[in-house]
Copies of this chain bind each other. A is one copy, B any other.
Amino acid sequence: MKHILSILLVMTFFTTSFARKATWIYYPGDYEIWLGNEMQNRRTERGGFFPPFWKMDSHYVAVEFSTKLDLPAAEEIEIYVEGKYNIKLDGKILPAYDRMTIPAGKHNLNIKVYNQANVPAIYVKGKTFGSDETWKVTFEDKEWIDESGKASDTSSGTTYLNAGAWNFDSPDTPPSKFKLATTPMDAVKIENKEKGILVDFGKETFGFVKFHNLSGKGKLSVYYGESPEEALDKEYCETLDHFDFGNDSRDFVTPDSKAFRYIYIEKDNNLSFDNVSMLYEYLPLEYRGSFKCNDELINKIWDVSAYTMHLTSREFFIDGIKRDRWIWSGDAYQSYLMNYYLFFDSPSVSRTMLNLRGKDPVTSHTNTIMDYTFYWFMGIYDYLQYTGDYNFVQQFYPRMQSLMDFCLSRRNSNGMMEGLAGDWVFIDWADFKMSKSGEVSIEQLLFCRSLETMALCAKIMNDPENEKKYSALASDLREKLFTAFWSADKGAFIHNRENGKMSEQVTPYTNMFAVLFNYLDNEKTEAVKKNVLLNPDALKITTPYMRFYELEALCALGEHDYVLKEIRDYWGGMLNLGATSFWEKYNPDEKGTEHLAMYGRPYGKSLCHAWGASPIYLLGKYYIGVKPEKEGYKEFSIRPVLGDLKWMEGSVPTPDGDINVYMDKQQIKVSATEGEGYLYFTSVSKPKSNTGTIEQIEKDKYKIKITSSANEYIIKGKF
């Protein structure tokens, strides 16, 4: 009896477990491409449609899904499909049933779907199994039949991947119907201005404008602004909507969501509405990371950074919410890093990386930008470290290789990357002039890091031949960096080399990344710190984008006090100017509406740009001090540093848990809900802990092992 009972228990377990797990599945990477096309082709510029200028790929229009079954009993399944489809049970084609019974025993179940407009997707739910990421998918099953009617051996020559999925866990939520969430929000102020009304929603936001009880006949115009100046400038505001109503009487919601804080509305006299509000549109994400300290300005900067990050974390990580709303690899790379310290939403990272990669053949750099190709590789490096999702590499290694092949095919005779026709060498929006010609040192550095990433992935794929190849290419290039670009005279890397001739210019970029990548010996590190990073006469970065790496490099060099001061000045500077989200670019020397202009347009600058949110990352990684030491936080390190703060507390998310840290000058409290690692700290008095064993490393330097089995580690000392 006992034996039978346990079998029943197992069966019950499977029933509930699998039935719960059924989800819509598709060819991995395809939904990411399709959804990206939907999103990125929503950009408008003053009413004109403004599509991306790089290649937009497509999903495979005919996809076969398959699974192998071994059913203890006959089982009825429900089948939901996006597309025209057939079912094949043990090789026999059946019509497109939406419900069928599969007999007990072993079976091959295949469903083949054709859909040109949307991504072929299926949702299958039985009692003991359902569609999930264990299903196999292919875009060419190569199953021909010979003259006798015998099917070819399909096990050979066809590449199968594991199905892709997100969170479409109900038959009623097919992937093609995906929408972001919305929630109603009221205006904080509505005032008459000029010939209409100016509505202020109190902070930068994103969504649909709602006109309550709109009635009558005539024209309605909405001018959006991140600033009141922009909303009121009908001739130059970046986005606008014009509507024409016949004779309506209803609540009217604008069809396309937009970014704004202010809207200026004009209408014909025969048209009226009772009120204006909005539907805030967002990706539902949990704020899993947190930060608090004694300095309210820093707290405010963290909060506004988190909001900026949330506004730009949408279908994908995008750049700015007003203008491009596109997926840019360099911008997204920073979002990945910030995400690890705020949402830890891995699907947002993989969705974004898959969209950016697109499909073969590679016809240009990612977003056409050379550096953005390299950030794509670097994103994988971090993704593996933070999430431990090796499955990503297993599925997409061929796409990594073909992108790297594209790079390798474009090297010059020195084995370096130079901008060829159609390549955009971006680097940064700088206020100083810099050359993008010849061999630009920062590009080689990022290329080198990309090659190291490929070596790591080859190792994961158990591909020793390519591991060797990529490693050799990386170390060769790393060596060349120093011979080609290091100036002993200037004690820094110079910017570029043209026709074999070193330029005279030192820019911060190569120097700060070299610190971050740990490519420098002590002497060179000190030189870079002195001659570039802390040199008041060095060229100034005016984008949060590159301040990200500059300040990170300074944190890595232990300049925590300096960095806090910079954060207060720079991000605090934006707050002083009324920012409710952080900007694409900020130059403290500019005045008034100069802050709004960019790209030769008075409101061209984006006042909510993902790369503005970096304090989240800096504070989480270098003050709270948490980072993974082994893939997926299997092992972590905690190196809390107060800088000039009196106290701070915060938590950093891990794949399935959190690491919580509190620190003041006398006490450090730490807990972790998964994994294990070490807390490293400096104390000028001998520290004590409530649990575990503190080990001394050198004078005043200690470590203590942290595991998730203890509730909380409390260390007393003089920090």
Contacts and interface: CB of A to CB of B under 8 A. Distances in A.
Contact of A86 (B34, B50, B159): B50
Interface in A349-369: 360-361, 363-364, 368
Interface in A241-283: none
A62 B58 contact: no
Interface stretch (A141-149, A606-614, A622-630, A678-686): A141-149
Interface string A27-63: 0000000100110010001111111111111111110
Interface in A167-181: none
A433 to B, nearest CB: 11
Nearest to A428: B147
Report which residue of A93, A139, A142, A421 has the largest number of chain B beta carbons within 10 angstroms of its beta carbon.
A142
Nearest to A145: B599
Contacts of A87: 48
A29 to B, nearest CB: 14
Contacts of A429: 147
Interface stretch (A110-118, A500-508, A511-519): A110-118
A424 B148 CA distance: 15
A643 to B, nearest CB: 33
A421 B157 contact: yes
A62 B145 CA distance: 37
A51 B45 contact: no
A142 B600 contact: no
A684 to B, nearest CB: 48
A49 B144 contact: no
Given A52-B62, A58-B116, A599-B149, A140 B93 contact: no
B59 A58 contact: yes
A323 to B, nearest CB: 11
A285 to B, nearest CB: 27
A604 interface: yes
Contacts of A96: 48-49
Nearest to A368: B142
Contacts of A117: 116-117
A140 B53 contact: yes
A156 interface: yes
A447 B140 CA distance: 24
A144 B53 contact: yes
Contacts of A55: 60, 139-140
Interface in A300-336: none
A140 B364 contact: yes
A420 interface: yes
A54 B140 contact: yes
A636 to B, nearest CB: 40
A49 B62 CA distance: 12
Number of copies: 2
A174 to B, nearest CB: 16
A561 interface: no
Nearest to A97: B48
A347 interface: no
A229 interface: no
Contact of A56 (B61, B148, B598): B61
B148 A600 contact: yes
A430 to B, nearest CB: 8
A592 interface: no
A143 B62 contact: no
Interface string A102-145: 00000000001010111000000000000000000001111111
A17 interface: no
Contacts of A116: 34, 37-38, 58, 117-118
A631 interface: no
Contacts of A157: 364, 420-423
A95 interface: yes
A701 interface: no
Contact of A140 (B62, B139, B368): B368
Contacts of A60: 55-56, 58
Contacts of A152: 424
17 contacts: A37-B61, A48-B93, A48-B94, A50-B86, A53-B140, A53-B143, A54-B142, A140-B363, A140-B364, A142-B424, A144-B368, A144-B424, A147-B429, A149-B601, A149-B604, A152-B424, A156-B421
Interface of A: 34, 37-38, 41, 45-62, 84-87, 93-96, 112, 114, 116-118, 139-150, 152, 156-159, 360-361, 363-364, 368, 402, 420-424, 429, 598-601, 604
Interchain residue pairs A-B with the least CB separation, the first 10: A157-B422, A149-B600, A117-B117, A156-B421, A58-B58, A157-B421, A48-B93, A149-B599, A49-B86, A55-B140
Given A56-B61, A147-B599, 19 more contacts: A34-B116, A41-B62, A41-B114, A48-B93, A48-B94, A48-B95, A48-B96, A49-B85, A49-B96, A50-B86, A53-B140, A56-B60, A58-B61, A116-B117, A142-B422, A144-B368, A147-B429, A156-B422, A157-B420
